[in-house]
Amino acid sequence: MRFNLEGLTVYFPYEYIYPEQYRYMLELKRALDARGHCLLEMPTGTGKTITLLSLITSYQLAHKEVGKLIYCTRTVPEMEKVLAELAELIEYRAKYLGRGPGSNEILALGLSSRKNLCIHPRVAEEGSRESVDAGCRRLTASWVRERAAERVSRGTTEGGEEGGSSGGAVGEIELCDYFEGHERAGVEALLPPGVYTLSDLRDFGRKHGWCPYFLARHMMAFANVVVYNYQYMIDPKVSQMVSRELEKECVVVFDEAHNIDNVCIEALSVNLRKQTLEAAGRNLGKLSNSIRRAREADAARLQAEYNRLVAGLIAQGALRGGEDWLANPALPADVVQETVPGNIRRAEHFMGFLHRFLAFLRDKMASPVVTSQSPQVFLHELQERVQVDAKTLKFCYDRLSSLLKTLEITNTDEFTPIQLVADFATLVGTYAKGFAIIMEPYDERLPQVPDPVLQLSCLDASLAMKPVFSKFQSVVITSGTLSPIDLYPRILNFNPVAIQSFQMTLTRDCLCPVVVTRGADQMPMSTKFEMRGDPGVMRNYGRLLVDLSAVVPDGIVAFFVSYRYMDQIIAKWHDMGILQEIMQHKLIFIETQDVVETTLALDNFRRACDSGRGAVFLSVARGKVAEGIDFDRHYGRAVVMFGVPYQYTLSRILRARLEYLRETFQIKEADYLAFDAVRQAAQCVGRVIRSKADYGMMIFADKRYQRHDKRDKLPQWITRHLKEAHMNLSTDMMVHVAREFLRAMAQPYDRGAVGKSLLSEAALAALDAAGGLDGAGAAGA
């Protein structure tokens, strides 16, 4: 339908709209009008994506000055889903706006790494992302192409054989046909308007003989909608290459952003293991060799690099080759625009410098005790021990990238370890605040196995978000679970113009959250540290699952607080015979840390649910399953959260972060921990409801959920359905509640409750005339 929203014509591809979608659009539009950032929570299953796309594309249409829509997703499947919905929307819009040139057609495309886009027959076969990247560079780096071109020209002047520019291989120098095709087409290589998913891009590339990756990168400048991964926006290494050209007027959307702070932190953190350092040492050896060889063969090249560095050209991007590779890991604003210091200008000197730094790191890692330092202390120590100063450190990454390019190295994946070390060096040198350097000689869970890790951990999520907020006019952060919503502006340190949490209008009570505090024997249950090992608690948890599997049909999902606890409790359940009892009712599948195994388990879980056998999936909060897999419809009729999924509180990184949050943002440790635990729990239980026609039990099995500090942090759309009668149940009471709920939900229900939970075009027109949703509460009736 097409309707008027405070003066903006909105194209929405469905006949009816939910009231919360309407409110969401209203809030979003006001934020866009105000040119500010906003934070919006709306439950899953209410069509958040289409609402966002619909409003923003309509807004673009009406306000030409608004730039692109940059839609950030977490995974490739999500990206495909967004593009599919967008395609539907555009198809619908074409009915009103017509097709062909001049009819405001839009170009939308998904952008992903080479691994997902490459169509070169050999390179695309490579396993990891790094190896595909390296394989691509081997064929497309500027010096490789120049050399090939030289050979061709030499070949033709000699009147020799036909140049192999079309064959891809010139002499023994191999090039990529698709890249060459794209290069030849130059600025002419354009995508016609439309919506392109990754596979569409690959198909298009194959058809025209153009490289889809470079085509997509090139077309970003012309696209109206770009869908890509969070990393492309947040990680400075990537975003400088990809997102630098974007204009200020863009609208940036982060979908499913409840974990955005963790993404930000990861983008600026570096972990170094013993193996990394060893490999980095080998890299240095290789580099020294190449330098020596280069010096013998072509001393002028190294001299030219030196001269460039003296002139300070590095920052101006005057360096040829490897255009999109090795961007600085620090944030754009913090990258120093100065010349590289003299002591590392010469390649040999730089090698020496890296050797010294590496030795220092190795020495640090040999320490048998856990240490935690601030960057200043670390730098001071570095200065004292090996005479390396912070300023030089800062340039480490740029200097390395310059060197690698000068040496014309293409197998970049081999040099990842030394890049990591340089990454570490640059970040330490650049940031004095908001970071911690933590050395752990062994994994705390396995103290007998030495496994030293040196971590440079970012503590401040707002660091990585700051450039995004300052660069773009409107940033929209949205998810199904952003509660408590006022905490996000604090940890991300920004001022939203709109903060709103929307509720789901339902025609029936299809959510049934309950808090189970004790077993049938009235003993409290909890995964509190003092209680979790208690056999009584484990048995009660087991009984809960047994009883539940007897009354809930089809699929049940159970989440535990950690892999370790899950292993422990499953072993205990096996001894107690609880697993066998569950098996009488349902099959059991378990998530493991192995992705392939888990995928297989999930697949069989679904089959068991489809064929009526019924199954239980045992999973872990914060795991892959909890974050990305939906258990909608009969795949999840009940979800159990065993315990409160706190982070591992003994982790040094977490400790450092908590301290930082307290000092910088005045957020209490316990508050943050509870917030983080409850959002994970909400994320887990939210897996079962994926649409309004769906229904499911949500069982919080821990007595601590009874407390206000936990309960109040749950999203409103859950707490609204948490009835007083369901806040303090024992297992047998819960079984009773479940029976009643499932019976009631099994009754046929009337989908066509138009008016209460659906608004038609006419109802919206009336609403608009009456002056908004609040002014006419009963407008839908």
Partner 1 sequence: MSAVDRADDLELDGDDDDIDEHELRRQEEAYQRQYENEQTWDQLQEDEFGNLFVDKTAEQRARRKRLLSAAQSARIRKGMIRYLLLVVDMSRAASAQDLRPNRLACILGLCRSFIREFFDQNPLSQLGIAIMRNGLVEKLTDLSGSPEAQVAKLDAGKLGSPAGDASLQNALDLSVSLLRSLPPYGHRELLVVFSALATCDPGNVLDSAKACKANNIRVSVVGVAAEVYVCRRITEETGGTYGVALNETHLEQLLLAHSSPPPATSAQAKAELVRMGFPQRSTEEASSAVFVGLEARLLSGNYTCPRCKARVPELPCECHICGLTLISSPHLARSYHHLFPVPPYHEDSKERAEEAAGVLIRQPAMRDEVPTSTGSYCFGCLREVSQPGAAGQLHLTLRCGRCKQVFCFECDAYVHEQLHNCPGCEFGGT
Query: Integer distance in angstroms from the first to the last C-alpha of the chain?
Result: 19
Of 240-248, 265-273, 275-283, 703-711, which segment contacts partner 1 by CB under 8 A? Answer: 703-711
Contacts of 88 (CB under 8 A, 6+ apart): 13, 50
Of the candidates 737, 748, 746, 756, the residue with the CA atom closest to the CA atom of residue 699: 737
Q: Does 609 bind partner 1 (CB under 8 A)?
A: yes
Minimum CB–partner distance for residue 733 and partner 1 (Å): 6
Contacts of 101 (CB under 8 A, 6+ apart): none
Minimum CB–partner distance for residue 482 and partner 1 (Å): 22
Minimum CB–partner distance for residue 737 and partner 1 (Å): 7
CB-based contact 609:553 (threshold 8 Å): no
**Member of 128, 153, 307, 649 binding partner 1 (CB under 8 A):** 649
The residue written with tokens 């939203």 in the block is 496
Q: Write the interaction track for partner 1 spanning residues 545-584; mark x where CB under 8 A is met and - where it is not.
A: -----xxxxx-----------------------------x
Nearer to partner 1, 494 or 695 (CB): 695
Q: Write the interaction track for partner 1 spanning residues 659-698; mark x where CB under 8 A is met and - where it is not.
A: ----------xx--xx------------------------
CB-based contact 593:40 (threshold 8 Å): no
Upstream peptide bond of 341 is cis (omega within 30 degrees of 0): no
d(CA 248, CA 235): 18
Minimum CB–partner distance for residue 452 and partner 1 (Å): 17
**Member of 366, 725, 762, 769 binding partner 1 (CB under 8 A):** 725
**Member of 68, 345, 543, 586 binding partner 1 (CB under 8 A):** 586
Nearer to partner 1, 578 or 674 (CB): 674
CB-based contact 7:25 (threshold 8 Å): no
**Member of 154, 613, 751, 756 binding partner 1 (CB under 8 A):** 613
Minimum CB–partner distance for residue 532 and partner 1 (Å): 11
Of 227-235, 432-440, 477-485, 645-653, which segment contacts partner 1 by CB under 8 A? Answer: 645-653
**Whole-Å CA distances, 327 to 130, 228, 594:** 15, 19, 32
Minimum CB–partner distance for residue 719 and partner 1 (Å): 14
Q: Does 733 bind partner 1 (CB under 8 A)?
A: yes
Q: 173-174 and 169-170: which strand pairing?
A: antiparallel
When computed from its CA atoms, the radius of gyration of the chain, rounded to whole angstroms, is 29
CB-based contact 79:73 (threshold 8 Å): yes
**Member of 76, 336, 744, 765 binding partner 1 (CB under 8 A):** 744
Nearer to partner 1, 189 or 550 (CB): 550
Nearer to partner 1, 150 or 610 (CB): 610
**Whole-Å CA distances, 186 to 181, 189, 210, 211, 321:** 9, 6, 10, 12, 17
HEC profile for 647-706?
A: CCCCCHHHHHHHHHHHHHHCCCHHHHHHHHHHHHHHHHHHHHCCCCCCCEEEEEECHHHH
Q: Does 40 bind partner 1 (CB under 8 A)?
A: no
Q: Does 634 bind partner 1 (CB under 8 A)?
A: yes
Nearer to partner 1, 727 or 770 (CB): 727
Minimum CB–partner distance for residue 374 and partner 1 (Å): 19
Minimum CB–partner distance for residue 633 and partner 1 (Å): 7
User: What are the residues facing 252 on neighbouring strands?
Assistant: 70, 475
CB-based contact 189:215 (threshold 8 Å): yes
CB-based contact 493:663 (threshold 8 Å): no
Minimum CB–partner distance for residue 389 and partner 1 (Å): 36
Nearer to partner 1, 356 or 655 (CB): 655
**Member of 585, 657, 687, 692 binding partner 1 (CB under 8 A):** 585
Contacts of 259 (CB under 8 A, 6+ apart): 627
Of 65-73, 223-231, 623-631, 633-641, which segment contacts partner 1 by CB under 8 A? Answer: 633-641
Residue 99, number of CB atoms within 10 A of its CB:
10
Minimum CB–partner distance for residue 677 and partner 1 (Å): 9
Phi, psi of 516 (to 5 degrees): -100, 120
**Member of 389, 444, 521, 594 binding partner 1 (CB under 8 A):** 444
Minimum CB–partner distance for residue 349 and partner 1 (Å): 44
DSSP conformation letters of 184-228: HHGGG--PPSEEE-HHHHHHHHHHHT--HHHHHHHHTTT-SEEEE
Contacts of 499 (CB under 8 A, 6+ apart): 38, 39, 40, 485, 486, 489
**Member of 169, 432, 746, 762 binding partner 1 (CB under 8 A):** 746
**Member of 157, 448, 666, 747 binding partner 1 (CB under 8 A):** 747
Q: Does 611 bind partner 1 (CB under 8 A)?
A: yes
Nearer to partner 1, 341 or 553 (CB): 553
Q: Does 610 bind partner 1 (CB under 8 A)?
A: yes
Phi, psi of 345 (to 5 degrees): -70, -40
Nearer to partner 1, 390 or 608 (CB): 608
Q: Does 537 bind partner 1 (CB under 8 A)?
A: no
Judged by CB under 8 A, the chain residues 477 through 536 that form the site for partner 1 are: 528-530
Contacts of 369 (CB under 8 A, 6+ apart): 441
Nearer to partner 1, 54 or 526 (CB): 526
d(CA 347, CA 452): 31
**Member of 192, 317, 612, 777 binding partner 1 (CB under 8 A):** 612
**Category of 646 on φ-ψ map: left (φ > 0), alpha (ψ -120 to 50) or beta:** beta
Q: Does 446 bind partner 1 (CB under 8 A)?
A: no
Q: Does 336 bind partner 1 (CB under 8 A)?
A: no
Of 85-93, 432-440, 500-508, 630-638, which segment contacts partner 1 by CB under 8 A? Answer: 630-638
Judged by CB under 8 A, the chain residues 447 through 466 that form the site for partner 1 are: none
Minimum CB–partner distance for residue 536 and partner 1 (Å): 17
CB-based contact 142:410 (threshold 8 Å): no
Q: How many residues bind partner 1 (CB under 8 A)?
A: 53
Amino acid present at 142: S
**Member of 300, 650, 778, 781 binding partner 1 (CB under 8 A):** 650
CA angle 586, 588, 593 (to 5 degrees): 160
Nearer to partner 1, 400 or 511 (CB): 511
Show the tokens assigned to 209.
Answer: 């003989």
Minimum CB–partner distance for residue 746 and partner 1 (Å): 4
Give the binding site for partner 1 (CB under 8 A): 444, 528-530, 550-554, 584-586, 609-614, 633-634, 637, 646, 649-650, 658, 669-670, 673-674, 703-704, 706-707, 709, 723-729, 733, 736-737, 739-740, 742-748
